Amino acid sequence: MSISCQDNSVTELKIMGDKLVNVNDFNGFAIPNHTLSESFSIDSFVTTLSRLPSLRVLSLVSLGIWGPLSDKIHRLSSLESLDLSSNFIFGSVPPKISTMVKLHTLTMEDNYFNDTVPDWLDSLSNLTILSLKNNRLKGRFPSSICRIKTLTVIALSNNELSGNLPDMDL
């Protein structure tokens, strides 16, 4: 775990666990041997983190976080980098993430997101890195991706996507 502060405010919170994820082994039921307590709630945790108005970097990797990602994640409006990789997060990527306009890195690979790739990604106009690889996303590549002029890295492999990636005017 690492915590960085500036001017008496928390600016970075990075927590790395030891729960490796294998997408092929997960069938949507409770996962034994959580790193986190059974009573842990990502919803409550996000609410608590929203009290850190200067938080720019949040990395919660391999912690065994299980369940859908809280729509309250958008309350972390100062975030520039969000990494929720290698957990057991499923469902949709919350649409309210589209309001997190300071994000330049969005990494949620190695989870179980099982809806479509969001079509609102172009709302994140500062995004340089997008990694949603190794999930269960389905459908077509959204054309909104090609409207993100700052995007330099896009990782969507190992999903159930069809079609071609739109031409990128980089």
**CATH number of domain containing 114:** 3.80.10.10
Q: Is 38 helix (H, G, I), strand (E, B) or coil?
A: coil
Maximum alpha-carbon separation in the chain: 49
Give per-residue pLDDT as tens, 8-50. 999 999 999 986 655 555 555 555 455 566 667 788 899 999 9
Whole-number Å distance between alpha carbons of 137 and 130: 14
Give per-residue pLDDT as tens, 72-94. 999 999 999 999 999 999 999 99
Give per-residue pLDDT as tens, 120-167. 999 999 999 999 999 999 999 888 888 999 999 999 999 999 987 767
Whole-number Å distance between alpha carbons of 165 and 142: 8
How many domains, in total, are found in the chain? Answer: 1
Q: Give the structural domain span for 87.
A: 2-162
- The answer to whether position 137 is within a domain reads yes
- The answer to whether position 167 is within a domain reads no
Q: What is the pTM of this model?
A: 0.88
- The answer to whether position 169 is within a domain reads no
Q: What per-residue confidence (pLDDT) applies to 145?
A: 87
